[in-house]
Amino acid sequence: MATFQFIATDKSGQEVRGTIEAADRASAIASIRAQQYFPSAIGEVKSEAPAAAAPAAKGGKKAPPAAKKSGGLNKEINLNIKLPKFLRGRVKTKDLTTFTRQLATLVNAGLPLMRCIEVLKRQNSVPALKDALDGISEAIAGGATFSDALTAYPKIFDNLYVNMVKAGEAGGVLEVVLARLAEFAEKSDKIKNKVKGAMIYPTVVLFAAVGITGFLLTYVIPKFQQVFTDLLGDAQMPALTQFVIDLSEWVKEYWYIVVAGAAALWVLKKVIGMTPAGAYMYDVISIKTPVTGTLIKRTAISRVTRTLGTLLASGVPILQALVIVRDTTGNRVVSRALQNVHDSVKEGESMSEPLAQSGVFPPMVVSMVEVGEETGALSDMLTRIANTYDDEVDNAVAGLTAAIEPALIIVLAVIVGTIIVAMFMPMIKIISSVGGQAGAM
């Protein structure tokens, strides 16, 4: 008998961890599942000390030894799962989506799962994914299920992926779930790329503005200053010209303060963002920021509703689905709202009321969720909400791009134009002076 340490979740989505004795890894997984737990990671303990027995669980069933609930990992638990160095990086979303789509097609064609994995492994050109498939194939051959084999590669197959595959296995509709996973990944990646693409132009213009301004202040203006000194002597400069010259001298002499200040602000932002309160504050600001806040909120709602709808349609229990969505939103304000929804559903209440109280989800979303709960078509209603908000995100991105481009051009023109005007004002005075001297002669 060997001792295995494990991490799992119960029916309510709470984390469970502990140790169990079994003949092999497959037997350990079967024993854990027999206790109505869903294992997410398991590894053999290299220790001579036997695991202590645990008290019986509710309902008269014996719980796995030393199992207890916790909100996070205990430092004393070492799962003894060592991932190769080449698996520490993530596989691109596009590559994973292609693999999932191809696997769904092969499974739907009636090929055994092991044969499907072997076929995809031979034609796969992504080293990290190919080596992961080697490990998955060995785990399945050793008696593990497909979903259990995926848990050894969390940086490639996230919690959402694993749980949907697990639901597909349990319902005998693995090919349907894989097709949904591929479709979900494609739509999510499409929205993400649109938002990123919309920010490329403003970023380029912003860097160009900073670069041009820095060049003018440190190189061009000092040249003009020397000319003005030679031609005007101690004559007083126009106020705007003097301000630009003083700014140029300050930047040339104290440029390191500008660099250090920018670096300090960046570090301070990162440090504050590492604290729970600071990270939550940033997410609140991001949602409430004019113009961009609407886009961020719509993107978050689209992601939440599509993920939750896909999980429910795949057969994942609602409490477990809410936990997964809560941990994958990317926004702590939305995560806190979903935690309230989870607590409400756990107490037997509806989803619509805590959604309305959160202030994050618009009335339309709340109403559609309420109708979905009443009609028993919640997953379909959530998918419809996601499709609606995908269109709204597209329109918001197009509108934001159309508004930002001329605004940045105007800002750049104002900065450069102000510097040019400031330099030409003394030139006009010099030309007038030279004209007056020529007339006197």
Residues in the chain: 441
Q: Which of 70, 102, 122 is the last residue of a domain?
A: 70
Least confident of 61-70, 92-101, 155-164, 352-361: 61-70
CA 277 to chain CA centroid, Å, is: 19
pLDDT value at residue 210:
83
* Six token digits for residue 241: 């010209």
- In percent, how much of the chain has pLDDT > 70? 84
pLDDT value at residue 264:
92
In a domain, 170, yes or no: no
Per-residue confidence at 303, pLDDT binned at 50, 70, 90?
confident
Selected residue with higher pLDDT from 416 and 440: 416
CA-to-CA dists, residue 98 to 105, 106, 367, angstroms: 11, 12, 36
Give the Cα separation of 183 and 190 in Å (integer).
11
In a domain, 168, yes or no: no
CA-to-CA dists, residue 107 to 101, 121, 143, 182, 410, angstroms: 10, 15, 19, 14, 56
- The residues pairing with 16 across neighbouring beta strands, listed in sequence order, are 8, 69
pLDDT value at residue 12:
62
Q: Are residues 146 and 251 in the same domain?
A: no
Rg (CA), the chain: 31
pTM, two decimal places: 0.61
Mean pLDDT of 403-421: 83
Selected residue with higher pLDDT from 432 and 417: 417
**Per-residue pLDDT tens over the stretch 105-117:** 888 888 888 888 8
In a domain, 167, yes or no: no
**Per-residue pLDDT tens over the stretch 205-250:** 888 888 888 888 888 888 888 877 777 666 777 888 888 888 888 8
Classify residue 220 by its DSSP letter. Answer: I
Q: Are residues 202 and 280 in the same domain?
A: yes
Classify residue 68 by its DSSP letter. Answer: E
Instruction: List b or e across 65-92, with b for residues whose CB sees 16 or more CB atoms inside 10 angstroms.
Output: bbbeeeeeeeeebebeeeeeeebeeebe
**Other Cβ atoms within 10 Å of 374 Cβ, number:** 12
CATH code of 221's domain: 1.20.81.30
Mean pLDDT of 255-278: 87
pLDDT value at residue 13:
61
Mean pLDDT of 273-294: 84
Q: Are residues 202 and 349 in the same domain?
A: yes
Q: Are residues 335 and 381 in the same domain?
A: yes
Q: Are residues 243 and 302 in the same domain?
A: yes
In this model, does residue 193 exceed pLDDT 50?
yes
Q: Which of 70, 100, 122 is the last residue of a domain?
A: 70
Mean pLDDT, the chain, rounded, equals 78
In a domain, 172, yes or no: no
Q: Are residues 244 and 300 in the same domain?
A: yes
Q: Are residues 35 and 149 in the same domain?
A: no
In a domain, 84, yes or no: no
In a domain, 276, yes or no: yes
Mean pLDDT of 339-366: 87
Q: Are residues 19 and 124 in the same domain?
A: no
pLDDT value at residue 267:
92
Per-residue confidence at 292, pLDDT binned at 50, 70, 90?
confident
- The residues pairing with 19 across neighbouring beta strands, listed in sequence order, are 5
* Structural domain range at position 26: 2-70
In a domain, 81, yes or no: no
Q: Are residues 196 and 254 in the same domain?
A: yes
CA-to-CA dists, residue 218 to 153, 224, 252, angstroms: 52, 11, 6
**Other Cβ atoms within 10 Å of 150 Cβ, number:** 23
Q: Are residues 321 and 414 in the same domain?
A: yes
* Six token digits for residue 356: 């309305």
Give the Cα separation of 342 and 153 in Å (integer).
27
- The residues pairing with 39 across neighbouring beta strands, listed in sequence order, are 8
Give the Cα separation of 144 and 6 in Å (integer).
14
Distance in angstroms between the alpha carbons of the first and the last residue of the chain: 113
**Per-residue pLDDT tens over the stretch 115-169:** 888 888 888 888 888 888 888 888 888 788 888 888 888 888 887 788 778 877 8
pLDDT value at residue 375:
87
Per-residue confidence at 436, pLDDT binned at 50, 70, 90?
low
In this model, does residue 49 exceed pLDDT 50?
no
CA-to-CA dists, residue 396 to 81, 194, 299, 413, angstroms: 44, 10, 10, 26
Q: Is 329 helix (H, G, I), strand (E, B) or coil?
A: coil
Q: Are residues 292 and 247 in the same domain?
A: yes
Q: Are residues 365 and 419 in the same domain?
A: yes
Give the Cα separation of 297 and 288 in Å (integer).
9
Give the Cα separation of 404 and 104 in Å (integer).
42
**Per-residue pLDDT tens over the stretch 3-46:** 888 777 676 666 778 888 888 776 777 788 778 776 666 777 76
In a domain, 165, yes or no: no
Helix (H) or strand (E) holding 281: helix 276-288
Selected residue with higher pLDDT from 292 and 171: 292
Selected residue with higher pLDDT from 438 and 43: 43
In this model, does residue 79 exceed pLDDT 60?
no
Transcribe 180-217 into DSSP letters: HHHHHHHHHHHHHHHHHHHHHHHHHHHHHHHHHHHHII
Count of structural domains within the chain: 3
